[in-house]
Amino acid sequence: MKTYPQPLQKLIKELARFPGIGEKTAARLANFILHESEEEAKSLAFAIIEVKEKIKLCRICYNLAEGPICSVCADAKRDRGVICVVEDPDSLMAIEETNDFNGVYHVLHGSFSPLDGVGPEDLRLKELLTRVEEGPVKEVIVATHPTTQGEATAVLIGKSLKEKGVKVTRIALGVPVGGDLRYMDRLTLGKALSFRRSVDEG
Amino acid sequence: MQVKTHHETEAIVLRTYDYGDYDRVVRLFTRHFGKIAGMAKGARNSRRRFPGTLEPWCLSRVSFIQTTPEKLVFLERCEPIDYFSELRRDPVKTMYAARIGEMVDTFSPERKKNEELFDTFSCFLSMLNEKGAEEASLIGFEMRVLACVGYAPALDRCLSCQKGVEEGKSFFFVAEVGGIKCDQCISPRDSSPIRVNRGTIKALLFTITCPIDKIGRMRLTFRSLKEGRLLVDTFIRHLLGRNLRTARVLEQMEPR
């Protein structure tokens, strides 16, 4: 890398900070940017600056927002009695794409992960409790990832909301649509059995 | 020419990292090869070869291919032995498992077989999975892990005058010397000594020497819990020059 001119070295170093990007990939990206037109390179640089300047966190649900509140919280048609708790904005986007949920969200921005030094106080749990206490909330759906951290976070939320008089549910875990029971692992199948529901419920 | 060798062993997942869009890098503590890091190709979008077995602390029988000793191994498949599911249903248990897991990860060198440590780790996970989370047994297993990796503090006698634990009532733990000093030998030059009573020292000594399954039955008084926690944390901080990542989360979680 030392043979590259100084400005290119600097760009490679910056790009190599990105998750999953090593020095070689960073060098390839930097060379791509170098061979782009000045206009295209400026457009990329402005896009990065614009993201940092304009994207904030929604003051209600902590989703990404262009203004003080996000598009979901600003939507008057949404059912504010149902809050879906997710770990990150990506999970929120995934649920939104289903078009099956008409409630609002709460983004924790992480999960309970002692291995990473992330404890209950590092998540936006207090803010969730405040929302439940203040608002007309009937149900909290916990949609954290089905991982060790996600499961522990779900239990943590359940315990925190136990005495708040609100229904706390967990998204179903188990057999995927189109799956084959013969090929399911016993953990997934066990989850599917414990999350079973009456066939009348559809 | 690269020689590929195929291996099979029991392993406990220490932690995983996403790699690219589909793969996972997994750090495992194995019975026969010690700590290894492996690439699980396609682990993020296919659960056939790794059916939930790449979650932290899952005990499984792993098959892997090794090309060069210093590189990542390639995980072929993991057959579950025990998922230790209860560890995910109680945040305190999750915390305790993470604590011992981090100690095993931090203190064990790469690819150095340590069956005693493997048995200690799996016994702890099994006990935690089946019984309640007790801080006394956590401290006991922390001591045992330190002993397994050769870092047990010297608690059986005063490091200056060699007076045995039975001969004194009160001792001071000095992290710098890696052991205890009696009240006659402790001096102002010893930095940050921790007063520890004989009962605490005897309980901690017991965790190093007793059969592993007895550690879980250990009970400590409130005072011994406080002293034991402080002693272990101080010693780990001295050994590593930093706190474990789990230390601040442990502080946040109130013991039941």
Task: Establish if B89 touches chain A: CB-CB under 8 angstroms.
Answer: yes
Of B244, B96, B119, B31, give the one whose Cα is nearest residue A148: B96
Indicate whether B38 and B120 sit together in one domain: no
Kindly state the DSSP code that residue A197 receives in the 8-state scheme.
-
Rounded Cα–Cα distance for residues A54 and A66 (Å): 6
- Sheet of B179-182: strands edge to edge? B179-182, B170-174, B194-197
**How close B186 comes to chain A (CA, Å)?**
35
Mean pLDDT of chain B: 90
Residue B107 CB contacts under 8 Å (≥ 6 apart), including other chains: B145, B146, B149, B151
pLDDT tens profile A151-185: 999 999 999 998 888 999 999 888 877 878 887 77
Nearest to A150 by CA among A129, A165, A171, A177: A171
Which of B53, B85, B117 represents a domain boundary (last residue)? B85
H or E element that contains A139: strand A139-142
CA-based nearest residue in chain A for residue B20:
A20
Q: Is A156 on the interface with B (CB under 8 A)?
A: yes
Q: Could B88 and A187 be called an inter-chain contact, meaning their C-beta atoms sit closer than 8 Å? A: no
Q: In degrees rounded to 5, what are phi and psi of residue A125?
A: -80, -40
Quick one: B120 and B227 in the same domain?
yes
Domain boundary among B68, B85, B102: B85
Q: What is the CATH number of the domain that holds B57?
A: 2.40.50.140
In a domain, B100, yes or no: yes
* Total Cβ atoms within 10 A of residue B1: 3
Kindly state the DSSP code that residue B86 receives in the 8-state scheme: G
From the CB of residue A37, how many other CB atoms can be counted at a distance below 10 Å?
Answer: 8
> What domain count does chain B have?
2
pLDDT band for position B127 (cuts 50, 70, 90): very high
Of B20, B48, B89, the CB nearest to A155: B89
> Nearest-CA distance from B16 to chain A in Å?
11
* B255 — pLDDT class (breaks 50, 70, 90): low
Contacting residues of A for B80, CB less than 8 Å apart: 185-187
Shared domain for B34 and B115, answered yes or no, is no
Q: Is residue B246 part of a domain?
A: yes
- Please indicate, yes or no, whether residues B115 and B212 belong to a single structural domain of this protein: yes
Any domain includes B164: no
Indicate the pTM of the whole model. Answer: 0.86
**B136 and B217 within one domain:** yes
Structure tokens, B13: 């997942």
Domain boundary among B40, B70, B85: B85
Comparing CB atoms, the residue among B15, B88, B250 nearest residue A152 is B88
Is B182 among the domain residues?
Answer: no
Please give the structure tokens belonging to residue A186.
């016993």
Where does the pLDDT of residue B256 fall: very low under 50, low under 70, confident under 90, or very high at 90 and above?
A: very low
The b-or-e profile of A117-147 (16+ CB within 10 A means b, else e) is bbbbebbbbebbeebbeeeebeebbbbbbbb
B48 contact A CB<8A: yes
Q: Is the pLDDT assigned to residue B68 strictly greater than 90?
A: no
Q: Is residue B159 within 8 angstroms of chain A, CB to CB?
A: no
Tens-digit pLDDT profile for residues B162-195: 988 888 778 999 999 999 999 889 888 888 899 9
- Please tell me the distance from the alpha carbon of residue A76 to that of residue A98, in angstroms, as a whole number: 19
The mean pLDDT of B98-123, rounded to a whole number, is 96
B22 lies in the same domain as B81: yes
Q: Using alpha carbons, list the distances in angstroms from residue A30 to A27, A51, A83, B19, B151.
A: 5, 20, 43, 21, 47
Å from B3 to nearest chain A CA?
27
Whether B27 and B135 map to the same domain: the answer is no
Within a domain: residue B157?
Answer: no
Considering the domain architecture, whether residues B130 and B17 belong to the same structural domain is answered as: no
Together in a domain, B93 and B51: no
Q: For residue B55, give its domain range.
A: 5-85
User: Do B94 and B46 fall within a single domain?
Assistant: no
Query: Are residues B51 and B111 both part of a single domain?
Result: no
- Asked if A112 has any chain B CB less than 8 Å from its own CB, the reply is yes
User: Is residue A1's pLDDT more than 70?
Assistant: no
Q: SS3 of A158, please?
A: helix
Cβ count near B2 (within 10 Å): 6
Shared domain for B212 and B249, answered yes or no, is yes
**Alpha-carbon gap, residue B2 to A35, rounded angstroms:** 38
What is the pLDDT, as a whole number, of residue B1? 61
Per-residue pLDDT of A110-167, as tens digits, reads: 999 999 999 999 999 999 999 999 988 999 999 999 889 999 999 999 999 988 889 9
Using the Cβ of A119 and the Cβ atoms of chain B, whether some distance falls under 8 Å is answered with yes
Residue B204's CATH number: 1.20.1440.120
B130 token code pair = 């089946």
A103-107 long-range Cβ contacts below 8 angstroms, 24+ apart: A103/A78, A103/A79, A103/A139, A103/A141, A104/A60, A104/A61, A104/A72, A104/A73, A104/A78, A104/A79, A104/A80, A105/A61, A105/A63, A105/A72, A106/A61, A106/A62, A106/A131, A106/A140, A107/A57, A107/A61, A107/A62, A107/A63
Write the residue in B56, B91, B102 that is nearest to A112 by C-beta.
Answer: B91
Interchain contact B90–A (C-beta under 8 A): yes
In a domain, B57, yes or no: yes
Q: Assess if residue B41 is contained within a domain.
A: yes
Strand, helix or coil for residue B59: strand
Of the residues A118, A126, A148, the best mutation for testing chain B's interface (the one with the most B CB atoms within 10 Å of its CB) is A148
Q: Is residue B37 part of a domain?
A: yes
